[in-house]
Every structure is written in C-alpha cells, then in structure tokens.
Structure 1
Amino acid sequence: MLYHAYELNHAAVGPLRQLVDLNKRLYESPYNPLSYTLAGRNISAACDLFEAMTRRYEKPAWRLNETSINGCAIPIREREVWRKPFCRLLHFQRDHNTRKAALGKDKADPRVVIIAPLSGHYATLLRGTVEAFLPEHEVYITDWADARQVPVSKGKFDLNTYIDYVMEILRVIGPDAHVVGICQPGPPVLAAIARLAEDKADYLPATMTFMGSPIDTRLSPTVPNRLAQERSYDWFKENVIYSVPWPNKGWMRRVYPGFLQLGGFITMNQDRHVTAHKEYFEHLVQGDCDSVKRHEEFYNEYLAVLDLTEEFYLQTILDVFQEHKLPEGTFEHQGRLIKPEAIKNVALMTVEGEKDDISGIGQTQAAHTLCSGIPDNMHIDYVQPGVGHYGVFSGTRFRTEIQPRMREFMRQYFNAKKERDYQNENPHLTE
C-alpha cells in the first residue's frame, strides 16, 4: 500500500504544481513590475524550490559527447554492446580518426569495464568516473534497469543472476580487460572472477579494482551496516518490499522501492541536505546562476532513483550484510562454493575513503585477505585522505589523486600489442 500511496500523492500534487508554475511565470515576467522587487524574487524562488522538491526525477542522460586528447576534442558515441532484461552494457566509443590524428598514431588503449552499483541510483551517477577514464581508455559500463520498468514475464533477478551477468559481460569483453567494481558490486564481481578463475576461463581480466565496497562489513561497521544487523531478514521482507503499482511496466513485481532507499540516504545526512536547499533558495533570490546550476546538476542526479527486485535486495541483505558469507567462506553461486583463493593471475587494487560513512575502512581491503592466491607484488591498497563515500569515485580528488593511481595500476598490467591484436580480431567491440 505504501507504493500506491506514494503514487497517489504524486498525482494529487500535480494540480498544485501547475498552479505554482503559473505563479512562477507571473513573477518572472519582465512585464510584471513586482518581478524586479525583493518580494517578487522571493516568491519566484519559493516556486522553484517547491517544483524541485515535488518533481519526480527521471533517469538522467549520460551527456558524454566528447573527450579531450592532447588538447583536441574527440567525439564520443554511446553504443550498446550487450543487453539482458535487467542490464545493458554501454561502450563510450571515441571517434577513431579524430583520436588517431590527435595522437599522431594508431594506438591501443586498455579496456576498462566499470560495474556500476545497483543500489538505488542510476549508473549515470558515475558520469564523472567515466569521463576521467575516457582520454586514455576504452570505457564500458553496466547500465542497470529500473525493476519497476521490467515486466514480470522477464523473470526474476537475484544475486546469482547478477553474478551470471558479470561473467557473461567479461566473456563478451574478452581477456585482459580491467574491471572496476564501485561500492555494491564488490562481492558479486569478486565472486564472478573467482568462478572464472576456478573454471580456468580464457577471458579473465588483467586487473580488478574495488572501490568503497562491502566485501566484509564486520570491519568498521557504519550506520547502514548496523541497521542491516539490528533488523531481521523477516523485518526487511515485511517492511520494505512492495508491489509495483499499475500502470508501470513492472506491474505486480515485488521490489524495494527507490524512494525508500533515497529516504535512507537523505536521513543519514539530513542537516546537510536542508542546508543545501536553504542556500539554493538564497542563490535563486540573489540571482547566483552558477551556484544554482551546480545545485540542480547534483540533485537532478542524486534524486533520480530506481527500484531493486525483491530477491536481489533480500539476498544481498542476508548474504552480504547479515551472514557475511563471502569472508566466512560460505558464499555460493548456483550451488557452487565461491573460492577467491582460486584467483592467481588477476592483479588486485582496493580504494577506500578516509571518511566513508557507507563502507568503512577495512571493508574493501578485506579483498586482499580473501584473494590469498594472488602474489604479493600484485596487490595494491590505497586509502584516500579527506573523502567520503562519493569522493572515492567522483569529484576533484578522484580526478587528481585516485584515478591517476588506478591508471598507473592498469598500465602496469597492460600489453599494448595483445590489446591491439585483440581489438583487431573483435571489431564488434569498437566499430
């Protein structure tokens, strides 16, 4: 019923939003003398704030149209190279001829596969992450579907399916790629690579990097970790799972609604969000367009959320946050025990933020202990001072301090000749 109430509330506010929009146009009109007064600017700003707080935020566009190489603008084409009901794999393809001219030669670059988190936000939250890699890498990213838009006829999607998807993506991308798991994907991506290593697959990646991931949430537990421990599995099933209402495509699918996840995120930093919106109002009144634009760009992304399937969410709660199956050595995929120690030739890097309040210090580092089969000289652990969870994969310190370290780590295990030969033999990945 909560999901239906949410939809009804959104519909009920519709007429009021139209009235507020009319009022806003009135007080922004250059023909209205009041629009030049402080009172008029306050009314107009209040209308903007109301619109921003009652709008339903749709999935943002990627808006990655070009990158820069040696000062030259290189056009970018967004291509879908693989698709399943709950995910598609995107390739941000750089224009070959323009890139060749900018470099002065035809040069192969490492393939980076970013596994975006499936934890409430769209993959576009990683726009800055993708942008940082584009000049020197072939970048691929998982673009997860909103469960409320996937018909029930498409079947279920759980943590096992997630691992199947990652394994198939690695097969499609081919050997010696560089996999980056950001936040939530840590455990399933590690499990997928462990399965491939145990099966001696010939398309293992060259490196794997985990950033702010809940590999072992028993270490430095945060507020979300403690909440998952304090509440029982049955409590989550009974209190946060709802049926998607009609007329969504996923009508009757059981999901963990994105708006509930968003409510949890906001509650964790409520004072910060209240202050941000207060300052947004003041900047609107003052006509500070740059500050207004920065606020809107952030919240257009932050407030756009998707639903997670019941089975995926509950299995993640149980296996990752309550029973800690991966670090305990009891995690299974399709009935087979996951053995991280089977990974021998995939270099491992972990990245954590000093002030991360979602994945505490040590939770990602635990991957090094689990992957005992990897030689010591193929392990790198880095903790970024002064950043929280989102600063691990976005923002100034990511671009200037974290991404350059990841770049050097990947280049250390990059064979340009093998990459060029592979790309020539698999034109479907680059054409």
Structure 2
Amino acid sequence: MRLPLLLAALCVVSACGEPAQVSKGGPVEEVGVGFGAPGGYRLEQTAQSGGSLVRDFMELTFAMESGRSLQTFSRFEGPVTVAMTGQVPPSAGRDLTALIGRLRSEAGIDIAQTSGAAAITIEFTSRADLRRLAPTAACFVVPNVSSLAEFRRKRGSDAVDWAQVTRRERAAIFIPADTSPQEIRDCLHEELAQALGPLNDLYRLTDSVFNDDNFHSVLTGFDMAILRLTYSPQLASGMSLSEVAARLGTAPVAGSGTAPEWVREIEAALGRNGSPAARRAAAGRALALAQAAGWQDNRLAFSHFVAGRLMAASDPPAAQAAFVRAAAIYARLPGAELQLAHVDTQLAVLALAGGVPEEAARLADRAMPVVRRHDNPALLATLMLIKAEALEAMGNPAAAAALRMDTAPHARYGFGSEGGVQSRMRNIAAVANRAERG
C-alpha cells in the first residue's frame, strides 16, 4: 500500500527501523557519523537523567534487547583484533579506522585492525543474503563465529547464543555491502560496540546508541564511558551480576523498569506490519502506558514523537501538538539536543506542507548546527533540501538552487546512489507542492 505523500516524507526524515535482538533494526536512512575528518566526531559525555553511569552499565550489561537476562559478565580479554572480509565497500576502511581510533583513545580499549584471522570479523555481503537470516535487521553481530557460512552451520545452537558466553573469543558482524556509506558506518558503530560490550538497549537513555529509538547511531561520549567501564581492570569475564556489582559498589539489580507492553506497542507502531490506523492505535497505547507509568524521561518524549509521526498525514494539527509536547520534554533532558533537531525536522516538514515556508526555513536553520555537530550527513542533507524548498516558495530560486548544490556531497554519503538522492529531493518537493506548481 502506498503511504500518503506527507507520511512518506516524514518517514524518510526519521528512523523507521524495527528493533531486533543484538542487531541494528533497519533499514534506517538518517544514520551514521564521522563525515568530516576521520576521528573528528566527539561529543562530551552528558549527565544521565534518572541514574548513574554504573546503574546504566548494569542495566545494559546484564540483559539483552529481547529482555532476556544475562547471568555472567563477558568481554574480550587481552588485545582485540578486527578484520574486514567479503564485498568491502570503498568507504568502510576509512570509517573503521576512525572508529577504532576513537575506541582506543576514548574507551581505552586495546583494539587494532588486521588483515588476517581476527577476534572480530566484519563480513560484507548483500542485503538479500542477510534478510534471509534476519529479516528485520539492517546488520547484526553473532558470537563464536568468523563468517556467514559458519553462522549458517551453527545457527540455532548454543554456540551462537550470547547467554551462553562467559568469555568472548570470537564474534562476527554482518553488514550489507549494497547500501549507503552512512548506513554502513552506522552498522560499524553499533555492532562493534555490541561485539565489545553491552548487548542491551535502554529506551530511557538520551545520548546513546544503546537505545532502539535510533536517534543516535554513532558512539557518543556516554557510550565510550560505558565501554571504558566494560574493560576496567576491576572486572573480568565470568563474573556474576553480584560480583560485578560488588566491584563497582552498586546494588546487584539490572532491571530497566520499562514495561515490555510499552516496548511491544512502540515496535508495533514503528513496524511495517499493520495498517496506518493500527500503527496509530499502537502509538496511542504506548503513549497511554508511558503516561500511566509516570515517566518524564526519554520514553515519554519518544511516545509523543512516534504519535506525531503517525498522525502527520491524517491530522497535521494533532501531529504538530504531539511534536511540541515531545520537544518540551526533550528540552529538559540532558543530552537530548539531537532529538530536538529531529523534532524540528518534523515540524519543518509540516510547515512546508502547510504553506508556511518562513517557519520551515527557521526550523531548518535551528536544527542544522546541531546535526552538523553530530555529523549526520543524511539528516543534514534533508534539512538543507527542506530549506531550499522554503527558499523556492519564498521567491528566491537562485538561493534555493545554490543550496541544493551545497547539499550534494552530504546527500551522496547519506543516501548512497544518485537515485536515492533524487528520490529524497522529489519527496520534499512534493511536500512543498512544488511539483504541482510546476
């Protein structure tokens, strides 16, 4: 079923992936970081709302994305080597080099790239091959294997069950080669972080890739602090939850406090199954659950955000109100500036569709510096194209054309093919009704 044009446009300026266990949901378009000089992206760690770093570490470390608890702490012991195999895309080498540099300098991990057998193997193959094994995942990581062929042989056995791992010896990351450079980099960040450290995601975190809301897809300062703690000399593979808690001076508790019912409703709202009405209903139930739980953190804000996205085509005023409520919460949360930029993007699209180009340009201008700091080329290109359409509507086609030219390098990195770039341009032009104006 073809989505209404406005909803389709909103979807392509948001993360539309589906959560999956020890994987990155996908495909997601606005992802990645490091478009500038290698190693150039670094945001300082921000204070976490509602808890300490150690508590966050415990909750991330002793559970999986599925909610399954883990009984034993595991990590790699000693130097970690990483190798790439398969259909390695041209951009992957530079992006992996930058990421490994950050892991060494910011997380203190003894990690290096090699061309031979490695502790962590990153295999690139076709998206079709990966979808046959994990239909909802853009990319994923598996323990105790070094190739896709080995994973196929061991699939379903205890050998590839993270819950059975007491010390990490080998792991393999599987990434599609036939996707945009930015999605490849996104996968490198998220899956290498999970190969090395926590296997869980927490929706309440604001400045972390360990969150299925997909706002952050690049390791943040908080994530590096979590990984640094993972490789602390105080800890060792094989420790129990209580032993790790004792070493870190905290209570041996690792529950996230997030109701699984809320997660299921959020997944249903963001998933590809179900009619638009069913997805809107799921978003409404998720919001009601968040409000009933008394949450005032990222989970409540995200509930409003998802509701707004799904109402954009059918009820733009209600969508705008939902985005405004989400923004009010995000504004109070440390480390949520990128979420606010995503809200501004959604509001800018609504303004463009509503015939208020001045407001669309203002919102795009406000969001772009934040997006540049987070080095997200696809989202930056989207905002630049929104502003270009606004300039066109305001009677300044020369400035609009110049801005579209400036968008090109960001768009090619973020969307991959020229066809993907042109599709994004057509979507945003259609939201502005420029195609109808001629």
TM-score, scaled to structure 2: 0.27
Q: Which has the higher strand share?
A: 1
